[in-house]
């Protein structure tokens, strides 16, 4: 009987979606959910929705829950990481302090000052989780959903011998979005994608053997289409491929769109299309709304959605258990998979999954202009991972020096001042070596 541990299970809606997917998947008829969260109230809500899902689906699953992961993680087959470390306390600092220096973020959880400091808060806890997993569940496959994705996977792979794959829905969602713009069934659109998480690229996009990029470039001239994704269309028009994360995220991953107020006004739009401070201004409210949504499902006020979602987690388990092959996009160690990105870094590529586990596939070389943008991110990833593993504060500062948006806006002295200010304000959530 399989055992699935979800660490950070208090992220109630996401835990619900992952458990629902597992419970409606063929071949996964029985098992145990081990739910872990440091917040007892949020953990209890996730336990309640798990019990309800099991009852409704009629599957032979049971639930264990604890604020102490070591009490429930023994013999775990699949460990899913969804932790958020001190996010509520610091989401405003991650946005407000950089904004004071002119670094304008929309989401700020993957790279940039917000993403780097989120990593510095998160990665020490992640390393502790992996060490406990090595002791209590040495055969577990580790699936990471926590952002910053590439950084979390890279640090984990350097700190642990466990198999780790990072999972994100941005590539399939982008394919679905483009199929919508093109008015084509998504299952008829073929694509090859690769890069780093949130900055991967659909380098090939075809329908019945025909290249779809000429059509997309024409569609970009239509305001009704362009306005749905301005920054990603700009990236495609000037760099030759569509990027796999939202316009808002993409705007802060490069130096082009947020370094001057006139550019922010020209290219960004409300909400996920680039709104200034969108995540910081809304995340605390979203967090509570998500919990309320689950509470209503538990009480019966809201219906359970039992349709399997797009997340890869259940598909990986199904392919391993049934030995029926599947293809997913995973964040994995670059062992020559993308030839012009750094060896040993973390890249996002197509992976075959079957009874033998997850097998990343060879991609080759990205177009140089796309690889260059990814290489800069991978340098930041390398420095942050080094900072955490070697307790090296200066390496963390160098990472911020190389962040594309920060470097486009600030001088080195200003970046140093911003870094020190963020470290001081967030000191209680950071490892001791950062202060």
Cα torsion 404, 410, 414, 420: sign: negative
The domain in which residue 7 lies consists of 2-167+301-313
**Inside any domain, residue 136:** yes
**Inside any domain, residue 83:** yes
Q: Give the pLDDT score at 115.
A: 98
335-356-146-275 Cα dihedral, nearest 10 degrees? 70
CATH number at residue 75: 3.90.1820.10
DSSP 8-class letter at 208: T
Burial of residue 432, with CB atoms counted within 10 A of its CB: 0-12 exposed, 13-18 middle, 19 or more buried: exposed
Helix axes 12-23, 40-57, angle to 10 degrees: 20
Cα torsion 233, 239, 243, 248: sign: negative
* Residue 169 is among the residues annotated as catalytic for this protein: yes
What's the total number of domains in the chain?
1
Q: Give the pLDDT score at 11.
A: 86
**Inside any domain, residue 261:** no
**Inside any domain, residue 215:** no
- Residue 265's SS3 state is helix
The model's pTM is 0.97
Q: Give the pLDDT score at 59.
A: 97
Q: Distance of CA 271 to CAs 213, 268, 315, 419, Å?
A: 27, 9, 31, 27
Residues of the chain below pLDDT 50: none
Distance separating alpha carbons of residues 208 and 180, to the nearest angstrom: 16
Among the listed residues 169, 238, 249, 381, the single catalytic one is 169
**Inside any domain, residue 318:** no
**Inside any domain, residue 188:** no
DSSP 8-class letter at 80: E
Omega before 148 within 30 of 0, i.e. cis: yes
**Inside any domain, residue 74:** yes
DSSP 8-class letter at 81: E
Residues written for the chain: 435
Give me the phi and psi of 74, to 5 degrees please.
Answer: -60, 135
**Inside any domain, residue 40:** yes
Distance separating alpha carbons of residues 294 and 299, to the nearest angstrom: 9
């Amino acid at each position: 009987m399989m055992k699935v541990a979800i660490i950070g299970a208090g992220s109630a809606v996401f835990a619900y979606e992952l458990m629902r997917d597992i419970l409606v998947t063929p071949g996964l008829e029985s098992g145990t959910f081990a739910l872990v969260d440091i917040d007892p109230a949020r953990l209890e809500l996730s336990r309640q929705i798990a019990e309800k899902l099991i009852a409704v689906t009629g599957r032979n699953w049971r639930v264990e829950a604890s604020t102490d992961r070591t009490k429930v993680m023994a013999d775990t087959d699949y460990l899913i990481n969804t932790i958020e470390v001190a996010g509520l306390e610091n989401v405003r600092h991650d946005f407000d302090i950089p904004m004071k220096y002119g670094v304008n973020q929309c989401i700020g959880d993957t790279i940039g000052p917000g993403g780097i400091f989120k990593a510095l808060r998160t990665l020490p806890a992640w390393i502790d989780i992996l060490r406990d997993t090595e002791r209590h569940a040495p055969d577990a496959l580790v699936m990471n959903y926590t952002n910053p994705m590439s950084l979390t996977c890279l640090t984990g792979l350097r700190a642990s011998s466990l198999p780790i794959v990072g999972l994100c829905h941005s590539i399939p969602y982008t394919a679905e979005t483009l199929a919508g713009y093109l008015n084509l069934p998504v299952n008829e659109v073929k694509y090859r994608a690769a890069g780093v998480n949130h900055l991967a690229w659909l380098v090939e996009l075809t329908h019945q053997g025909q290249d779809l990029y000429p059509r997309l470039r024409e569609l970009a001239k239509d305001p009704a289409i362009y306005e749905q994704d301005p920054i990603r269309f700009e990236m495609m028009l000037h760099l030759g491929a569509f990027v796999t994360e939202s316009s808002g995220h993409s705007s802060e991953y490069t130096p082009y769109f947020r370094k001057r107020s006139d550019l922010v006004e020209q290219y960004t739009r409300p909400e996920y299309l680039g709104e200034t401070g969108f995540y910081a201004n809304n995340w605390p409210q979203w967090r509570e709304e998500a919990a309320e949504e689950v509470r209503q499902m538990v009480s019966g006020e809201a219906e359970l959605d039992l349709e399997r979602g797009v997340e890869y987690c259940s598909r990986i388990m199904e392919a391993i258990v049934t030995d029926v092959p599947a293809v997913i996009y995973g964040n994995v160690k670059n062992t020559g998979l993308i030839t012009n990105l750094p060896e040993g870094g973390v890249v996002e590529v197509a992976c075959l999954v079957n009874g033998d586990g997850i097998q990343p596939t060879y991609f080759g070389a990205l177009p140089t202009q796309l690889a260059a943008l990814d290489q800069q991110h991978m340098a930041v990833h390398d420095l942050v991972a080094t900072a955490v593993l070697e307790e090296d504060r200066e390496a963390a500062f160098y990472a911020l020096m190389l962040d594309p948006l920060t470097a486009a806006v600030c001088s080195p002295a200003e970046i140093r001042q911003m870094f020190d200010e963020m470290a001081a304000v967030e000191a209680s959530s950071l490892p001791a070596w950062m202060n």
